[in-house]
A and B are shown apart, each in its own frame.
Chain A
Amino acid sequence: EPEVTQTPSHQVTQMGQEVILRCVPISNHLYFYWYRQILGQKVEFLVSFYNNEISEKSEIFDDQFSVERPDGSNFTLKIRSTKLEDSAMYFCASSPQSSGNTIYFGEGSWLTVV
């Protein structure tokens, strides 16, 4: 069964460093997402991406975050200058269409900022 894959599974970085989290969505999907889950808290929406542009973003997704689909398969989340509070599990997800359709999640990238 097709799946969303994410790399790295775990990354430790120093505060202030840039981090890129990578994702390969399911190949025929059109909508791509990033969510995050701070330890012990709920899963939160960060951003959705469709037709090579951001279609919706949350308040969390400020100027230090960016997303990119550099080629036909990868979807990346960049955090420009990491802060301690960015430590979380970051989930990439994709879906064939918007609203009401199943969103398929990857296994997550655990980011620890020290």
Chain B
Amino acid sequence: AQSVTQLGSHVSVSEGALVLLRCNYSSSVPPYLFWYVQYPNQGLQLLLKYTTGATLVKGINGFEAEFKKSETSFHLTKPSAHMSDAAEYFCAVNVGNEKLTFGTGTRLTIIP
């Protein structure tokens, strides 16, 4: 069975600083990995995904993530935080079946 661990339920960074949200997964087969963002009172929006090929994937709003098989990680980064990045971020894994397994989420706060 697959699982996802997101370290840090709350992360605060200053505006303009690096954003790093951590995600580790557990899977017995090659995974497909996703990051979703949830803004207040809104649904889940896909930021980026890794399926095959290049391990560094770029998404919307300047975010990117790198799939590291040896570390079973898929951390999300953005070089310079913006106030509009404040939201909850969810890492998720799919292992060839039809469901996504989500992490518990990380709430990102941007300090002006």
Contacts and interface: CB of A to CB of B under 8 A. Distances in A.
A45 B99 contact: yes
Interface residues of B, number: 24
Interface string A36-74: 000001111100101000011010000000000000000
A42 B105 contact: yes
B44 A91 contact: yes
B36 to A, nearest CB: 7
A12 to B, nearest CB: 17
Given A100-B32, A106-B43, A107-B42, A45 B100 contact: yes
Contacts of B103: 42
A56 B98 contact: yes
A45 B94 contact: no
Nearest to A47: B99
B112 interface: no
Given A42-B102, A42-B103, A91 B43 contact: yes
Instruction: Give chain A's interface residue range (CB within 8 Å of chain B).
Output: 20 to 34
A44 B36 contact: no
Given A43-B102, A56-B97, A99-B32, 16 more contacts: A42-B90, A43-B92, A43-B100, A45-B100, A55-B98, A91-B44, A93-B44, A99-B94, A99-B98, A100-B94, A100-B96, A103-B46, A105-B45, A107-B42, A107-B43, A108-B43
State the 6 A-B residue pairs at the shortest beta-carbon distance, nearest first: A107-B43, A105-B44, A45-B99, A48-B98, A100-B32, A43-B102
Interface of B: 32, 34, 36, 42-46, 49, 51, 90, 92, 94-105
17 contacts: A41-B104, A42-B102, A43-B90, A43-B100, A44-B102, A45-B99, A50-B98, A98-B98, A99-B95, A99-B97, A102-B46, A102-B49, A103-B100, A105-B36, A107-B42, A107-B43, A108-B43
